Structure 1
Amino acid sequence: MRIPMSYDMMETARVTNQWLGATAQAIGAYPAMGMVPNPMFQLLSAWGDITERSFDRMVSRPDWGIHTVTGPDGRDHVVTIETEVDRPFGNLIRFQVSGRPDKPRKVLVVAPMSGHYATLLRTTVKSLLIDAEVWVTDWHNARDIPVSEGKFDIEDYTRYLVDFIRAVGPEANVVAVCQPVPLALAATAWLAEHAPEAQPRSLTLIGGPVDPDANPTEVTDFGRRVTMGQLDRMVIQNVGIKYAGTGRMVYPGLLQLASFIGMNSERHANAFWNQIVAKAKGDASNNDRHNRFYDEYLAVMDMTAEFYLSTVERIFKKREIATNSFTLDGQPVDIGRITQVPVMIVEGEDDDISAPGQCLAALDLLTGLPPERTKVHLEPGAGHYGIFAGRSWRQNIRPLVLDFFDAAAGDTKAARAANVHSARHDRAHPHHGTDRTPI
């Protein structure tokens, strides 16, 4: 419920738990406790260490941690991150590989704005960087954006995508993961109608809610159960005085994290208890599998209230993308305008966030795209995270996506050659021009 200083109260609770963890760790690890032959103190120290680390990570922006890439010459090439487009609510960044000739594949990874930082796609980016030049949409934490920068809703998000695609160029292979899938579809459709020369080379949609009602999940059901007024009152808060965005209305990342954990509370509880026991036994390490996952998973960011509410209302409730009724600046965005950009759809069989069928619904909207320019892959046994960052991605999906990029490049060359041939034919036989069907 929104009450005065509720954001600061939530932050106070987080800091208190972090302090309790640090205190417990200090008491349990105090040298004098070694004289007491009781494992309780090892467990207390382990609980404190993991608790302090967990609550600290909730306000820490993770580092990309991609420092080198091994090139075809067998040498490690240094990776630097360059900002190519700087915007108040998000940047377009490029992972520049020093000393390596540019790869012919250009990939724009559209990261979700759903409570986590773009670094959630770290393994995705690293795996693509081996064989491609990679750009990523790096969204900013709303609590750090001054109110003077104005609003940011799903239409603003779509405009950002349009500009980012244009910045990478028409050779961009756009890969949208989860939340931005429907908006990446809309941005591509807008370009197809208003700036066809800037259309991306291909569009890959991974586990996103094009039609949330195609196969409802707990996430989509929640959006249907509550009214917009209830949602506004329950989850929207004012950023506290500690941050640059003080006064901005946001959906706090901590609330989003609580909902994520609540969906699989038993699994997370078991994971933390097992880690506490491992820490007490001396079997845990600073960079083990548990810490690598939860250091990223617990790092959350705030979303602007208008973005969160417009997403729920227009994507989940009104289903504007699913019904092809989405508008941008008051103008209809017709998904059927996509006629040349090949589209690949990837879903996970066990995805409990965006269930199979939700992303596949895009095919019904691509009425102008020939079937041979679409590709669909359902990954057996894969959950939501696995289809873009897990073993399923590395071993099965990534090779298919790279092959799709290459096929799209061939289609583009063929289409350009056909267009050149048609243009020459028109000049030689102008009276035939009106009878030709566009490719």
Structure 2
Amino acid sequence: MPQYKSFPLPDTAEGLTEAEILSWHVQPGDEVTVNQIIVEIETAKAAVELPCPWAGVVTELHVRPGDTVTVGTPILTIDTDPGGAAAPAPAPAAAAPAEEEMKPLVGYGSKTVTAKRRARKGPAVPAEPAAAAVQEQVGQAFTSTNGSAPAAVQPEPAATGGYVPLAKPPVRKLAKDLGVDLRSLTGTGADGVITREDVQQAASAPEQAAAPVATRGGERRVPIKGVRKMTAQAMVSSAFTAPHVTEFLTVDVTPMMELRARLKNHREFRDVRLTPLAFCARAVTMAIKRTPEVNAAWDEAAQEIVYKDYVHLGIAAATPRGLIVPKVRDAERMSLRELAVALDELTTTAREGKTPPGDMVNGTFTITNVGVFGVDTGTPIINPGESAILAFGAIRDMPWVVDGDIKVRKVCQLALSFDHRLVDGQQGSEFLADVGALLADPGMAMTF
């Protein structure tokens, strides 16, 4: 007989409580296999594709694209024995077996959470059933004795605000920026996925051009969620918890840039994208050895300072979804070449929106490379759980005094913000001076 299993929204990283459903890759009636991608969600940290833990037939989708769902809420039901023969109804005592524990897959948590779905906001959206009703429907599926599946949630017409056609996060953002309603489009990509070309064509169509233009003084409202929501909460918490101190240093990095030019022709670096950021990352990991306080954490609950022998180096990356900070694990063990490769892979993955949630937690120190935007420096805010962050500014040709003569040199500015609870001014200054010395004269690494 049919065996119905409910798939609850898993915790895809540490401490996540909710996620937005971006798109379904399956519909009721579709056959699925183990580890087949069934849904794409957006958490506060990343866009994640979830695989199915069972094989079977999809019988019901409990949520729609655009819904924000709390962890533990059932999002679909699967019949894992669609070809099973009918069997006599079980005795009342066995009529309601407990839901089988879902075996965790890679990237999943497995804790059981009693959660409720948050009500959707906005006009033209049908009222959602209460979480209790969803749970009741799932319960009925598990206790069904006549072999019939519960009624599936049917997609509503696009005009009523129902299912949103499939589209990747960057395409969704592009559509939002251009004012294109995805529900009015037919995707030309594989499996009906809406592409950037579909959105751009719709934006340039006559009917789009004829749409009323917002008058002066108009406004546009965007829900606070996802990466933006997490970033806001983290920055507010950090700014009002850790007493920030910021110090600045201007550095002549001409020797570093000359070394970079030479290494590009070296056989070990010919296939590597060697950026100034890689040199900065290497300098940071070396300087941390002499000033471990900038790689520590303040544990308020335990009233302890936690010194860490490893460096999980966070790199602030601008992506279409907002600012995220993926980590290079155990960066202190890496050579310059290894760091260059890791940074290239990290930033490429981040911009494609494919950074795993696990790669954005447990950092120990962060670099924000504001120089790529042509910015000289700033006063960065420390990431929660860390004690310092370094802003790496743009490298510019500037007049500089060298041996009493004014010459044109490659110059950049550094800004170090640190938590004054555990990093004193002397320690912060020594660390910043060490980083600057290594960038100004890479040969200084021989003395560290």
TM-score category, normalised to shorter length: under 0.3
TM-score, normalising length: structure 2: 0.19
The structure with the largest alpha-carbon Rg is 2
Higher strand share: 2
Which is bigger in relative contact order (C-alpha 8 A, separation at least 6)? 1
